[in-house]
């Protein structure tokens, strides 16, 4: 039974702590100290009531304690990460200045970034811990959306990505990627799920989204999903034995089934892009690799200007998938190096949050979220330089595109939400 003396003391302490989210942790911590002091006084032959009063007196002025705890346990904001976000966002307008398909694209990008800011702020203020036990609903929702997409989806450029809803077209693939990311973060906190027959179920659950993305076919999201789950799995606290079993099973499946499928489907658009990367001269789509080499060779240190010669107009999707080589050609290698470093620092800053948070679930979310931004960023830059196969991968926060921008903004907001509560959330090792 709770002590009225303790409750009064704790109420006074919490009255000085502005963060309501920190109250539970503070109450638990202080109550533990009060009980220890009370027991020590009772061992000196004091009555329980006397011991509790002395314990409270020993703790000191509750209002002073509350003011100190208020400074220690308050929401944090990673202003450096937000400044980097603004800088990268400003850069996203440059490809539209010199190579937008239409004058309205600049206005649309401004609107998209306004919405992206709202999305980031919304997820930042949302308590991410409320999602930890919703992994089943999140996972099932993602699978059902992909199945609906396969049946009723709208095809654009040979890929099923969109559905029509109330007169609006919605990019379902980005929504499902967010759902699977959140679902697997919750799964990896359930260590008891990775033992015995449950491992078979998790094995099946892992491959279902991967296969569905391949059926669309949307190979980039298969890659993002694979690496996101892999990195969260790697940094999870699952036993080494379970990790070895799961990794062995998944790698065997990949080598025996996934790779042969990609190799055998030589006539597909995807396989042609992959093979043309190895031998550009032998495939029709290989001209893009040759074109990129020519543009990058003519870039120079300071480029040809955003409104330079008309030859850059031959580069398709210069405002989306090929925004990086366009910026290098227009503004030079110096700017390209600067942008690459800026993105790497942005990703590194996000990954550092994982080491600062005390919450295990928060760490898993940050690792997965940073991966979802890092993999497409690195792939897009390497693709633009001709060092990776050309697939539909946009450069996060730089390439034009509302759906992708909102997705990355949601991921960023979740990461900032973890940072915001790093001094509020109670340490957990699930």
- Average pLDDT on 98-109 reads 74
Greater model confidence, 327 or 386? 327
Greater model confidence, 391 or 194? 391
Note the residue count of the chain: 430
Greater model confidence, 27 or 262? 27
Highest mean pLDDT among 41-45, 263-267, 365-369: 365-369
Residues 168-192 have pLDDT tens digits of 778 889 999 999 999 999 998 887 7
DSSP 121-160: HHHHHS-GGGGTT-HHHHHHHHHHHHHHHHHHPEEETTEE
Alpha carbons within 13 angstroms on the beta-carbon side of residue 159 total: 18
Rounded distance between C-alpha atoms, residue 399 and residue 192, angstroms: 41
Highest mean pLDDT among 125-129, 293-297, 369-373, 425-429: 369-373
Task: Confirm if 397 and 406 have CB atoms less than 8 A apart.
Answer: no
What pLDDT score does 270 carry? 58
Residues 282-316 have pLDDT tens digits of 666 667 777 888 888 888 888 888 775 666 676 77
Residues 346-355 have pLDDT tens digits of 999 999 998 8
Greater model confidence, 420 or 35? 420
Q: Which pLDDT band holds residue 264 (cuts at 50, 70, 90)?
A: low
Rounded distance between C-alpha atoms, residue 7 and residue 30, angstroms: 11
Task: Confirm if 51 and 42 have CB atoms less than 8 A apart.
Answer: yes
pLDDT at 327 over 80: yes
Highest mean pLDDT among 6-20, 163-177, 394-408: 394-408
Residue 251's SS3 state is helix
pLDDT at 78 over 80: yes
- Average pLDDT on 180-208 reads 85
Q: Give the whole-number percent of the chain exceeding pLDDT 90.
A: 31
What pLDDT score does 410 carry? 96
pLDDT at 267 over 50: no
pLDDT at 257 over 70: no
Average pLDDT score over the chain:
81
pLDDT at 269 over 60: no
Q: Single out the residue of 133, 267, 220 nearest to residue 396, CA to CA.
A: 220
Q: Give the whole-number percent of the chain exceeding pLDDT 70.
A: 83
Which phi and psi (to 5°) does residue 60 adopt?
A: 105, -165
pLDDT at 95 over 50: yes
Q: Which pLDDT band holds residue 135 (cuts at 50, 70, 90)?
A: very high
């Amino acid at each position: 039974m709770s002590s009225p003396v303790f409750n009064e003391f704790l109420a006074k302490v919490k009255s000085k702590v502005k963060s309501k989210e920190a109250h539970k942790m503070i109450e638990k911590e202080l109550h533990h100290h009060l009980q220890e002091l009370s027991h020590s006084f009772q061992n000196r032959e004091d009555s329980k009531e006397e011991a509790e009063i002395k314990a409270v007196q020993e703790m000191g002025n509750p209002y002073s304690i509350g003011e100190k705890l208020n400074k220690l346990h308050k929401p944090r904001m990673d202003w450096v990460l937000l400044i980097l976000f603004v800088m990268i966002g400003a850069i996203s307008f440059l490809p539209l200045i010199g190579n937008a398909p239409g004058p309205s694209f600049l206005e649309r990008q401004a609107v998209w970034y306004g919405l992206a800011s709202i999305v980031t702020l919304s997820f930042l203020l949302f308590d991410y811990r409320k999602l930890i036990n919703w992994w089943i609903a999140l996972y099932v929702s993602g699978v059902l959306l992909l199945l609906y997409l396969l049946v009723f989806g709208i095809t654009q450029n040979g890929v099923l990505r969109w559905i029509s809803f109330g007169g609006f077209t919605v990019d379902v693939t980005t929504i499902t990627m967010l759902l699977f990311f959140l679902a697997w973060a919750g799964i990896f906190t359930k260590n008891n799920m990775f033992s015995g027959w449950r491992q078979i179920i998790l094995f099946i659950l892992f491959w279902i989204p991967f296969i569905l993305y391949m059926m669309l076919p949307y190979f980039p999201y298969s890659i993002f999903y694979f690496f996101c789950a892999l990195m969260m799995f790697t940094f999870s606290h699952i036993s080494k034995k379970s990790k070895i079993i799961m990794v062995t099973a998944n790698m065997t499946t990949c080598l025996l089934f996934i790779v042969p499928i990609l190799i055998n489907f030589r006539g597909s658009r995807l396989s042609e892009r992959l093979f043309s990367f190895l031998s550009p001269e032998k495939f029709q789509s290989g001209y893009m690799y040759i074109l990129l080499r020519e543009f990058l060779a003519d870039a120079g240190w300071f480029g040809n200007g955003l409104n330079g010669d008309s030859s850059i107009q031959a580069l398709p999707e210069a405002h989306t998938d090929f925004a990086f080589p366009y910026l290098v050609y227009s503004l030079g290698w110096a700017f390209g190096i600067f942008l690459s470093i800026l993105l790497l620092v942005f990703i590194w800053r996000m990954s550092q949050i994982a080491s600062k948070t005390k919450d295990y679930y928060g760490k898993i979310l940050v690792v997965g979220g940073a991966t979802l931004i890092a993999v497409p960023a690195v792939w897009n830059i390497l693709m633009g330089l001709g060092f990776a196969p050309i697939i539909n991968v946009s450069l996060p926060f730089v390439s034009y595109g509302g759906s992708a921008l909102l997705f990355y903004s949601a991921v960023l907001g979740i990461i900032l939400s973890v940072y915001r509560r790093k001094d509020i959330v109670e340490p957990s090792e699930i």
